[in-house]
């Protein structure tokens, strides 16, 4: 187990970078996408799923960009199953 120690003395500790546009945002403004150890790509609404996580803006434009640039593929270093971006888009459509 190799854990990176993060000091919690910074106000920025809740900020994460969008893998698509590179903007730093509060965790609450981003969607967490997780690759499980089985290789499934899931949207982690609770923030508690185990696996490798990536953050993306809660923004349909960012999803579109991610899809065309294959940002998730690069981030997770694997093939993203068909329908994943579609799933993301639906997720974004629900949240306003
Ligand atoms: Zn973004």
Highest mean pLDDT among 38-47, 55-64, 68-77: 68-77
Distance 1 CA to ligand 1 centre (A): 30
Distance 58 CA to ligand 1 centre (A): 8
Q: 33-41, long-range: CB within 8 Å, 24+ apart, which pairs?
A: 33/72, 33/88, 35/76, 35/78, 39/78, 41/72, 41/76, 41/80, 41/81, 41/84
Distance 33 CA to ligand 1 centre (A): 13
Q: Where are the domains of the chain?
A: 14-94
DSSP state of 32: E
Domain 14-94 superfamily per CATH? YlxR-like (3.30.1230.10)
Distance 39 CA to ligand 1 centre (A): 23
Whether 82 and 70 have beta carbons less than 8 Å apart is answered as no
Distance 21 CA to ligand 1 centre (A): 4
The two three-digit tokens of residue 28, written as one number: 């609450």
pLDDT band at 34 (very low <50, low <70, confident <90, very high): very high
Give the other-Cβ count within 10 Å of 70's Cβ. Answer: 12
């Amino acid at each position: 187990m190799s854990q990176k120690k993060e000091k919690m003395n910074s106000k920025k500790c809740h900020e994460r970078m969008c893998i698509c546009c590179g903007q730093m945002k509060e965790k609450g403004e981003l969607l967490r996408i997780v690759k499980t150890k089985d290789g499934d790509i899931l949207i982690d609404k609770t923030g508690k799923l185990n696996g490798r996580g990536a953050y993306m803006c809660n923004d349909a434009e960012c999803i579109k960009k991610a899809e065309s640039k294959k940002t998730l593929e690069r981030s997770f270093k694997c093939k993203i199953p068909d329908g994943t971006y579609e799933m993301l888009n639906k997720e974004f459509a629900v949240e306003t």
